[in-house]
Amino acid sequence: MARKNHRIKLIRRAAKSGLGSAYIRGFKYALRNNYDFVFEMDADFSHPPAYLPDFLAHTPKYNLILGSRYIKGGGITNWGIWRRLLSYAANLYARTILGLPYRDLTGGFKCYSREALKNLRLDSIISEGYVFQIETTYRAHRKGSAIKEIPIVFKGRGKGKSKISRKICLEAIWKVPLLRFLR
């Protein structure tokens, strides 16, 4: 697609080295190229692009817009009960330990302003797995970013397997409390 459309930029990495480092590389690219806003979303369309105008509508007032599965109007399709319970418990755990008011801390459908991205201090992020989502929202909140949750319906993948693993769950258990000590 990038060959056919000059607006699509593909950043290739020699090997997989984690979700967090992939996002950081993309964020740094956006900052170097003076992008005003950066969207984070799943490329398999689990995060429907139809919501992009809803995110943009809030950019005049907010630095970080979170697509939320857990507020009125949001939801999830194609997930079993265990995956739903795991997600709900992870959000409750992070929200409680970090004292954050947001309902969907583990979601990956976000819109960052340039200012919010610069305030994240990308080189000091410590998370790689799904905790990356929690850490970036926590950092933005602590830096005083204006944050808004908007409802989205997440469409669980029809093909393939989830990347959730025991290692990712363990990372969340010990790194979420560690985030409270970030500067």
pLDDT in tens, 161-178: 666 667 766 777 789 999
Q: Are 58 and 116 in contact (CB under 8 A)?
A: no
Comparing C-alpha atoms, which of 70, 69, 77 is closest to residue 156? 77
Listed in sequence order, the residues at least 6 apart from 42 whose beta carbon sits closer than 8 Å to its beta carbon are 108, 109
Question: φ, ψ for residue 148 (rounded to 5)?
Answer: -130, 135
Mean pLDDT of 115-122: 96
Average per-residue pLDDT in the chain? 91
pLDDT of residue 181: 86
Domains of the chain from N-terminus onward: 19-179 (3.90.550.10)
pLDDT of residue 168: 67
Report how far residue 53's alpha carbon sits from residue 15's, in angstroms, rounded to the nearest whole number: 33
Report how far residue 73's alpha carbon sits from residue 102's, in angstroms, rounded to the nearest whole number: 15
CB atoms within 10 A of CB 81: 7
pLDDT category of residue 14 using cuts at 50, 70 and 90:
confident
Type of residue at 173: I
Please give the model's pTM, rounded to 2 decimal places: 0.92
